[in-house]
């Protein structure tokens, strides 16, 4: 950054951060010259403080995500540990088969296992740490598709790699000690409502299932789903037992109930590690066994590790970077990695998947059914990125949302889909702008008319005051709690704008005009007299007293934070604030403090770690101060997103927050829902090549130091731009190339 920094950034500092960073680099082999994108992925970024990421082994968009859990001791409620892992913890209690990265609620952690040399006795049902072990980050490694840790208490080394639906775990027990493995399905993040375990010593396998749920601290019977598993071992099972509640029955092979566990023993394994091959399915044990056979048959641990690494490099390599700033490169590729984790493949190798109505369906061959859509979070950034870089997968994601709406989702298009359940978390119909943004950036292999009609049905239904939004042109205020009337109005308006673009693409001009007009509804809750979004009642009266920092009427924020979040009509926003000069003055005051810690929903300042703050810097551009946009996003990218465990300013929310920073880094940010247009702000890299699946390329070069001052000239395909906006429809629709040169 420039030596003169006008921003006061409020965030936590980590003692000896450079030491931590050096340790993390050594986890990648301390190489000075690295040639693969995976060499620049640090899975530990975001595992401390509020990022809520987890260093699990997983394939791109994998159903299985196998990795360590070191929190949720007796359903521990730390807000900084919701994915199951926290960098500050010094012990691991289990390795589970499902994780969701970066979310703001706790859940998943299904089918956990734990190796131990302790004689099985204490029930893992009631003592979640009965078989936990201390560990050190010095003896922990993580990279895309691979995780390793040495457990100090039992002197056991654990290595994990994974395919889409299966994983291989190597347990290298110490010589001379008896080896045991604990199965503890009750230790899923929110517990279980039922489970079954069967131990087959003749075939050296364990099979079963567990039903869990409980998204966002709810009872596990809420939003329940069932994970089936099949695990096979390369060494004979010499001992076994089960727990039902606290009671241990040695020698027992079967257990069923809502508080159960089991163990298997291998005796003294000598110098050979025990290999567990495990697959999961949300349909049946038989499907889990088929997944295991299909994905792992004949493949060694190293075979799978190399194959999954290749898949990661193929996807990450769609963006090629040239820079001398290795930390910035690590932050970028780590963020890109986070955006290729979710949503998750839900179909088995035979194409079967379980719908929202609990029936079993089959996805056509060559396609995938996806689940775990955090749409309120991801429509703003991740959807654009996935549409651009993985358009075929994004098209399958759009189709998945359509299928859910027609296979039992009571919300129509998904709001927050947790496996095959609708959780109703957050407000708005955020699948609508998510689909529009994916389509805009390249996910075109869909039945446009059919998808558009489903979007219209969802946008026009009366869920969550949607009928009032249509009737009044806004959602009227209602008594607290859960009064999100203003942010509901805003989200519906943003969705309407994206839907209008889909109607335009389909030639449906009547609905295009209807939804475009309706997208202006956000200004029905904008009080011109005070220049803020404000609550109003069903008679049209503004609700007083007004406090710009009050959360009432807003979801995860306040009026001061939300008022800037009108990406589809920023020019109108600037006018209503009294013109460019007044808008800039207010932005200067708003961004003079940047908050990156805690839960500042009652603070009237810039919070880049949560979705309503993502587009704040770009209001400067619409107010005629594009240089301030550049300065602010460079500050955020260089000072707030860092190559360290605490290197995120908020929940990553399935990639949404890091996707914001990826676009900041590239110097091209998407703003208008459903429009393939970027605001150009200057890349932080010397050169970038974005390789699209249709053969098109976006090539970005920087002529000069981006931190030396504002851009002097933007040249696109040898022509100087007058305005910093670029529409890429041509290279999405046809094979071509766009060259962007920034001169400082």
In a shared domain, residues 304 and 196:
yes
Give the domain CATH number at 460: 1.20.1610.10
Residue ending a domain, among 258, 288, 314, is 314
**Residue of 173, 157, 211, 213 lying closest to 189 (CA atoms):** 213
Residue with tokens 């994004």: 394
The torsion angle over the Cα atoms of residues 439, 377, 283 and 259, rounded to 10 degrees, is 180
In a shared domain, residues 525 and 615:
yes
From 158-172, 590-604, 658-672, the region with the lowest mean pLDDT: 590-604
Tell me the per-residue pLDDT of 349-379, one tens digit each, with 9 for 90 and over: 999 999 999 999 999 999 999 999 999 999 9
In a shared domain, residues 300 and 323:
no
In a shared domain, residues 445 and 521:
yes
Structural domain count of the chain = 2
Residue ending a domain, among 314, 348, 377, is 314
Output the CA–CA distances (angstroms, integers) from residue 526 to 200, 493, 563, 573, in the order listed.
Answer: 65, 13, 8, 9
Residue 359 within any structural domain of the chain: yes
In a shared domain, residues 280 and 427:
no
Q: Phi, psi at residue 67, to the nearest 5°?
A: -170, -175
In a shared domain, residues 361 and 464:
yes
**Residue of 188, 46, 177 lying closest to 119 (CA atoms):** 177
The yes-or-no verdict on residue 219 having pLDDT over 90 is no
Residue 505 within any structural domain of the chain: yes
Average pLDDT (505-510) is 98
The pLDDT value given to residue 73? 58
Residue 294 within any structural domain of the chain: yes
Residue 6 within any structural domain of the chain: no
* Token pair recorded at residue 24: 């993390």
In a shared domain, residues 527 and 597:
yes
The yes-or-no verdict on residue 24 having pLDDT over 70 is no
Residue 78 within any structural domain of the chain: yes
The pLDDT value given to residue 679? 98
Q: What percentage of the chain carries pLDDT values higher than 90?
A: 88
Tell me the per-residue pLDDT of 260-309, one tens digit each, with 9 for 90 and over: 999 999 999 888 999 999 999 999 999 999 999 999 999 999 999 999 99
Average pLDDT (112-129) is 94
What pTM did the predictor assign? 0.95
Residue 11 within any structural domain of the chain: no
Containing domain of residue 400, as a range?
A: 318-743
Return the number of other C-beta atoms located less than 10 Å from residue 695's C-beta: 11
Q: How many CA atoms lie within 13 A of 69 on its CB side?
A: 35
CA distance 683 to 704: 11
**Residue of 506, 504, 503, 500 lying closest to 518 (CA atoms):** 500
Tell me the per-residue pLDDT of 528-584, one tens digit each, with 9 for 90 and over: 999 999 999 999 999 999 999 999 999 999 999 999 999 999 999 999 999 999 999
In a shared domain, residues 598 and 638:
yes
The pLDDT value given to residue 271? 85
The pLDDT value given to residue 16? 34
CA distance 597 to 615: 19
In a shared domain, residues 530 and 645:
yes
- Please provide the average confidence, as pLDDT, over all residues in the chain: 93
In a shared domain, residues 249 and 322:
no
In a shared domain, residues 292 and 386:
no
The yes-or-no verdict on residue 19 having pLDDT over 50 is no
The pLDDT value given to residue 5? 56
Residue ending a domain, among 273, 293, 314, is 314
Tell me the per-residue pLDDT of 32-77, one tens digit each, with 9 for 90 and over: 555 899 999 999 999 998 899 999 999 999 999 999 999 865 545 5
Average pLDDT (616-641) is 97
Contact 241, 250 (CB under 8 A): yes
Q: Which residue has the higher pLDDT, 680 or 461?
A: 680
CA distance 628 to 414: 37
Give the domain CATH number at 302: 2.70.98.10
Question: Is 337 exposed, middle or buried (CB count within 10 Å of its CB: 0-12, 13-18, 19+)?
Answer: buried
In a shared domain, residues 285 and 334:
no
Average pLDDT (671-683) is 98
């Amino acid at each position: 950054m420039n030596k003169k920094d006008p921003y006061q950034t409020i965030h936590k500092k980590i003692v000896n951060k450079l030491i931590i960073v050096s340790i993390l680099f050594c986890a990648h082999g301390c190489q000075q010259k690295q040639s693969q994108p995976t060499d620049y992925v640090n899975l530990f970024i975001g595992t401390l403080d509020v990022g809520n990421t987890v260093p699990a082994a997983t394939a791109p968009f994998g159903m299985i995500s196998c990795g360590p859990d070191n929190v949720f001791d007796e359903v521990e409620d730390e807000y900084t540990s919701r994915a199951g892992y926290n960098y500050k913890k010094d012990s691991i209690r289990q390795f589970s088969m499902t994780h969701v990265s970066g979310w703001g609620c706790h859940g998943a952690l299904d089918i956990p296992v734990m190796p131990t040399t302790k004689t099985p006795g204490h029930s893992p049902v009631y003592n979640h740490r009965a078989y936990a072990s201390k560990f050190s980050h010095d003896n922990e490694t993580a990279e895309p598709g691979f995780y390793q840790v040495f457990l100090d208490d039992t002197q056991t080394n654990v290595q994990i790699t994974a395919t889409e639906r299966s994983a291989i775990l190597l347990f290298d027990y110490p010589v001379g000690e008896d080896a045991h493995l604990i199965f503890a399905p009750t230790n899923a993040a929110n517990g279980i409502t039922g489970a079954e375990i069967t131990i087959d010593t003749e075939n050296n396998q364990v099979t079963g299932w567990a039903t869990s749920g409980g998204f966002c601290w709810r009872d596990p019977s809420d939003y329940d789903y069932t994970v089936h598993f099949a695990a096979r071992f390369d060494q004979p099972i010499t001992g076994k037992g089960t727990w039902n509640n606290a009671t241990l029955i040695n020698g027992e092979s079967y257990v069923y109930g809502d508080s159960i566990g089991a163990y298997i023993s291998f005796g003294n394994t000598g110098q050979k590690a025990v290999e567990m091959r495990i697959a999961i399915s949300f349909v049946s044990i038989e499907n889990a066994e088929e997944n295991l056979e299909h994905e792992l048959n004949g493949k060694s641990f190293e075979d799978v590790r190399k194959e999954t690494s290749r898949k990661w490099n193929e996807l990450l390599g769609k963006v090629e970077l040239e820079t001398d700033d290795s930390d910035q490169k690590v932050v970028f590729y780590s963020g890109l990695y986070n955006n290729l984790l979710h949503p998750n493949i839900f179909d088995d190798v035979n194409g079967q998947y379980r719908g929202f109505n609990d029936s079993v369906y089959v996805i056509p061959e060559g396609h995938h059914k996806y689940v775990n859509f955090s749409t309120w979070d991801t429509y703003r950034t991740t959807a654009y990125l996935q549409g651009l870089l993985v358009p075929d997968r994004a098209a399958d994601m759009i189709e998945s949302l359509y299928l859910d709406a027609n296979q039992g989702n009571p919300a129509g298009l998904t709001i927050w889909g947790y496996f095959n359940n609708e959780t109703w978390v957050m407000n708005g119909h955020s699948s609508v702008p998510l689909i529009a943004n994916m389509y805009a950036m390249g996910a075109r292999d869909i039945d446009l008319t059919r998808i558009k009609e489903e979007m219209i049905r969802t946008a026009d239904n009366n869920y969550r005051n949607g009928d009032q939004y249509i009737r009044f042109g806004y959602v009227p205020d209602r008594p607290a709690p859960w009064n999100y009337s203003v942010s509901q109005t805003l989200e519906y308006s943003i969705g309407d704008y994206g839907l209008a673009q889909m109607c335009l693409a389909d030639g449906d001009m009547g609905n295009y005009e209807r939804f475009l007009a309706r997208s202006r509804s956000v200004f029905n809750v904008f009080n011109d007299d005070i220049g803020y979004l404000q609550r109003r009642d069903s008679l049209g009266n503004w609700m007083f007293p007004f406090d710009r920092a009050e959360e009432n009427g807003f979801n995860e924020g306040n009026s001061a934070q939300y008022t800037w979040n009108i990406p589809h009509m920023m020019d109108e926003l600037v006018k209503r604030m009294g013109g460019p000069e007044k808008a800039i003055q207010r932005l200067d005051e708003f961004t003079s403090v940047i908050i990156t810690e805690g839960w500042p929903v009652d603070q009237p300042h810039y919070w880049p770690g949560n979705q309503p703050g993502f587009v704040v810097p770009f209001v400067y551009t619409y107010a005629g101060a594009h240089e301030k946009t550049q300065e602010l996003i460079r500050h955020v990218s260089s000072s707030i997103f860092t190559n360290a465990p605490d290197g995120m300013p908020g929940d990553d929310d399935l990639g949404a927050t890091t996707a914001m920073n990826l676009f900041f880094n590239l110097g091209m940010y998407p703003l208008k829902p459903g429009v393939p247009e970027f605001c150009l702000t200057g890349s932080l890299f010397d050169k970038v090549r974005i390789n699209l699946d249709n053969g098109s390329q976006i090539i970005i070069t920087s002529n000069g130091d981006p931190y030396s001052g504002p851009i002097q000239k933007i040249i696109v395909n040898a022509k100087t731009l007058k305005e910093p906006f670029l529409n890429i429809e041509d290279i999405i629709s046809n094979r071509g190339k766009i060259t962007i040169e920034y001169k400082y």
